[in-house]
Amino acid sequence: MNRKEFVIKCASCLGLGGLALLAPGCAGTRYFSALIEGADLIIPKSEFSSLSDDGKVTQRKYVIAHNDKLEYPIYVYDVGNDSYTALWMQCTHQGTELQAFGDRLQCPAHGSEFTNYGLVQNGPADKNLRSFPVKVDGGNLRISLS
């Protein structure tokens, strides 16, 4: 599934109201356009906050950032204690764009799975995902793309 198909799938989940809760790949996923400054992708920490219907602010565990200059999006996971992982969403088997399901990434082509640290959990992929260093800079995360 490519990015466009994924967005359409999520949009259709939202259209089904409560059924979206049954689709773990859709519910709560934040997919947004991030800025690039120099060699860094900038992720506002506020992207991890979500306002629920009852007015409560909840924290997302992950967001997916994209930029037109990037061939694939980047999955950013909050592992706690102000630490984050940032992973290139390209399968290491044959290059298909991955899908995020909470704390794991799955390839729609042949079923490889990766952890939120980018480690291969199930093949046929046999290499871990490309990961990027993440620095916390005030209210932003700076993901080094170099």
3-state secondary structure of 99: strand
Which residues, including other chains, have CB under 8 Å from residue 109's CB and lie 6 or more apart? 91, 93, 94, 96
**Closest distance to ligand FES from the beta carbon of 91 (Å):** 3
Q: Which is nearer to ligand FES, 30 or 115 (CB)?
A: 115
Alpha helices in the chain (DSSP H): 3-15
Pairwise CA distance, residues 29 & 63, whole Å: 6
Q: Which is nearer to ligand FES, 41 or 125 (CB)?
A: 125
Q: Which is nearer to ligand FES, 125 or 134 (CB)?
A: 125
**Closest distance to ligand FES from the beta carbon of 55 (Å):** 40
* Residues making contact with ligand FES (CB under 6 A): 91, 93-94, 96, 107, 109-112, 124-125
**Closest distance to ligand FES from the beta carbon of 124 (Å):** 5
**Closest distance to ligand FES from the beta carbon of 122 (Å):** 9
Pairwise CA distance, residues 117 & 77, whole Å: 8
Q: Which is nearer to ligand FES, 28 or 131 (CB)?
A: 131
Pairwise CA distance, residues 76 & 90, whole Å: 14
